[in-house]
Structure 1
Amino acid sequence: MKYKILPVSIIYINENMINQRLDNFMHSRFKNIPKSMIYRIIRTGKIRINKKRISPHYKLKIGDMLRIPPIRLSYYSKNTFFPLEHATVLLNSILYEDNDLLIINKPSGIAVHGGSGLNFGVIEYFRKLRPLDKFLELVHRIDRETSGVLILAKKRVSLTFLHEQLREKKIKKEYIALVHGAWPFQIKKITEPLLKTKLHNKQRKVLVDSIGKPSQTYFTIKKRFSSSTLLSIVPKTGRTHQIRVHTAHIGHPILFDKRYGENSLDNNIKNKTNINRLLLHSSVIHFIHPKNGKEICIKAPLDSDFKMILNTII
């Protein structure tokens, strides 16, 4: 691990930054800095707004002058380069773009943001590829291993509008997954509560637990194969790893799920193909456009690996 010192930053708050809490602004702008460090430098007065100490909950106003002190940042040198092949893939993955939104078909294997030893995720790539876009933020997230629709906002007002739709459950997402075994016809909904945990190796894992958060996932069988089932899935809540945990809980994990799946079952499939990506894909998203108020439906086609699996299984 290496270290570098970020120099003093002076940021003048513009209309794309206003109404954010200071702590949230810092988290989104400096994703590789631990939250504990951000709160510490705010609490000790090292971060100043208009030359004054400020609380983490302060909401930024247009014209505010934000001073950020030098920050010592750790990083992994092997991941500091900018992988051009990923940049090319992401540029070719754009499904829709206008002045407010950028929507892509995220490939499996690319994280939505940097962290945990990764300097580049989708948002960092596009910020580097689109330097003239002064504002670019993730509207929502999907797992690194999951492919499919991902929305980025190009304006603060668009981000706020879509976040409100998410809170009010007005954004509808549909997924496609290939699960092991014959999915029971009678199981059309799973409502098991989900609880986030951290294992001894610091890996995050989500468990079904009565003290967890309420969760709802709806399932429709699209096609049955001899040893697997293709499902259409609509999550009504947006819990971490929700679909993966719910399917695994009833004994039908998603193929090639390294965290919640069954290695013995996956190995039988690997013997026939060289593909081992998680077979979960965010295929459709419905939302109201923040500018014109029209209902938008974006569809993301399956990638070649997912299609190949479907074409080769019996």
Structure 2
Amino acid sequence: MSEPNPRVRHHEVLAEEAGQRIDNFLLRQLKGLPRSRVYRLLRRGEVRVDGGRARPTRRLRAGEVVRIPPVTQPRQAEAAAPSRGLAERLRGAVLYEDERLLVLDKPSGLAVHGGSSVGLGLIEAMRQLRQELRFLELAHRLDQETSGCLMLAKRRSTLRRLHEQLRQGRIEKRYTALLTGALQQDRRRVEAPLERLGGAPRERQVRVSEQGRQARTTFEVLRRYRRACLVDARLGTGRTHQIRVHARHLGHPVAGDDRYGDRRANAELRRSGLRRLFLHAARLQFHHPDSGEAVSVEAPLSGDLQTVLEALAAGEH
């Protein structure tokens, strides 16, 4: 079975989507469409980026507008309804809300988008829970295992203004992370370009590379433990896996990171109760995209992460 998509769509590229190839972007946007069909759309010039033709290898930049032509896609199964437990958790996760904006405390382990390997993501669940909203879209993304502040826009105009603030670096994102080992300095600024490697989204890797895009992260130690340190991480740019890769570049990977982390250190920290990536989007500070008022939203550390810190502190006595 297939379903028509009779309307042309125009998608503004998010900061987090920048750097990916247009062919890979289309394969995710047009789920189930054969790869050969995607390349045919590109060859015929039916896909446009800022009004111009695009080769399959062209990499997207934040703020560009991609014209996605009407196509007939394989019919997708209706999204599964969120479980009762997930629904209750998301209803209780609202940190800030007004008529144009919604900020949630995203749970760890929940992907922001559904996909071939993830049946239901946060945005799909929220659209089902808030069916009275005619528009609801992610303003940015968090990794599946990262918890904390996540912005959603209720109006397309609000989304555009938030994207503009993100591109200009006017939204301050602060993270709380536990790094393995002992970071010597109380404050470290990392400026190391990051390159995204190919592969399916769940296997995609990022590395420090001179061929990559500029990336800046500032780490400030909040507390030291015998075999780890709690830090405040401030993003100067918003690259994929930026904190995780920069922490590894320092020689102190984020605790519980099964992709870029230290396997032995993670095994030791499991004895303190760590069962997930210790990376939490603790604070967002920005000017409201419509009113211009200053907004600051904070998400407290979850109970499981607090328990880990208590165990580490107890182990020092």
Asked whether the two chains share a fold, i.e. TM above 0.5, the reply is yes
Aligned to 1:48: none
Q: Greater shift after overlay, 167-176 or 191-200?
A: 191-200
* 1:222/1:126 CA distance change after superposition, 3 Å: same
Aligned to 1:306: 305
Aligned to 1:72: 74
Q: Between Structure 1 and Structure 2, whose CA radius of gyration is higher?
A: 1
Once the two structures are superposed, what CA deviation does each residue of 1:3-43 show, in whole Å capped at 9, x if it has no partner?
Answer: xx3423455x9xxx88869x9xx969956346957745756
Aligned to 2:234: 234
Once the two structures are superposed, what CA deviation does each residue of 1:207-241 show, in whole Å capped at 9, x if it has no partner?
Answer: 11121111110111100111110001101011110
Once the two structures are superposed, what CA deviation does each residue of 1:166-197 show, in whole Å capped at 9, x if it has no partner?
Answer: 11111111010011111111651011111111
Q: Distance in 1 between matches of 2:261 and 2:193?
A: 19
Q: Secondary structure at the match of 1:8?
A: strand
Aligned residue pair count:
288
Q: Distance in 2 between matches of 1:166 and 1:33?
A: 31
Specify the code of the residue in structure 2 equivalent to 1:282: A
Q: Distance in 2 between matches of 1:171 and 1:277?
A: 27
Cα RMSD over matched residues?
3.3
Shift of residue 114, structure 1, vs aligned partner? 1.1
Q: Secondary structure at the match of 2:205?
A: strand
Specify the code of the residue in structure 1 equivalent to 2:204: R
Contact 1:180–1:253 under 8 Å retained in 2: yes
Q: Secondary structure at the match of 1:313?
A: helix
Shift of residue 71, structure 1, vs aligned partner? 1.7
Counterpart check, 1:110 vs 2:106: no
Shift of residue 85, structure 1, vs aligned partner? 2.1
Q: Distance in 1 between matches of 2:29 and 2:179?
A: 37
Q: Secondary structure at the match of 1:188?
A: strand
Give me the TM-score of the superposition, normalised by structure 1. Answer: 0.81
Aligned to 2:266: 266
Give me the TM-score of the superposition, normalised by structure 2. Answer: 0.80
Q: Distance in 2 between matches of 1:289 and 1:83?
A: 32
* Structure 1 unaligned blocks of 5 or more: 46-52, 60-65
Counterpart check, 1:158 vs 2:154: no
Aligned to 1:181: 181
Q: Secondary structure at the match of 2:144?
A: coil
Q: Secondary structure at the match of 1:96?
A: strand
Specify the code of the residue in structure 1 equivalent to 2:254: I
Q: What percentage of residue pairs aligned between the two structures are identical?
A: 33
Q: Distance in 1 between matches of 2:199 and 2:43?
A: 32
Shift of residue 81, structure 1, vs aligned partner? 5.9
Shift of residue 202, structure 1, vs aligned partner? 7.6
Aligned to 1:62: none
Q: Distance in 2 between matches of 1:110 and 1:243?
A: 19
* Structure 2 unaligned blocks of 5 or more: 14-21, 52-67
Counterpart check, 1:7 vs 2:3: yes
Contact 2:3–2:75 under 8 Å retained in 1: no
Q: Distance in 2 between matches of 1:259 and 1:41?
A: 35
Shift of residue 147, structure 1, vs aligned partner? 0.5
* 1:119/1:27 CA distance change after superposition, 3 Å: farther
Q: Distance in 2 between matches of 1:201 and 1:114?
A: 12
Counterpart check, 1:285 vs 2:284: yes
Q: Distance in 1 between matches of 2:217 and 2:96?
A: 27
Q: Distance in 2 between matches of 1:160 and 1:102?
A: 15
Q: Distance in 1 between matches of 2:167 and 2:109?
A: 27
Contact 1:8–1:67 under 8 Å retained in 2: no
Q: Distance in 1 between matches of 2:93 and 2:201?
A: 34
* 1:33/1:172 CA distance change after superposition, 3 Å: farther
* 1:38/1:293 CA distance change after superposition, 3 Å: farther
Aligned to 2:87: 87
Contact 1:32–1:114 under 8 Å retained in 2: no
Specify the code of the residue in structure 1 equivalent to 2:308: I
Q: Distance in 2 between matches of 1:33 and 1:267?
A: 39
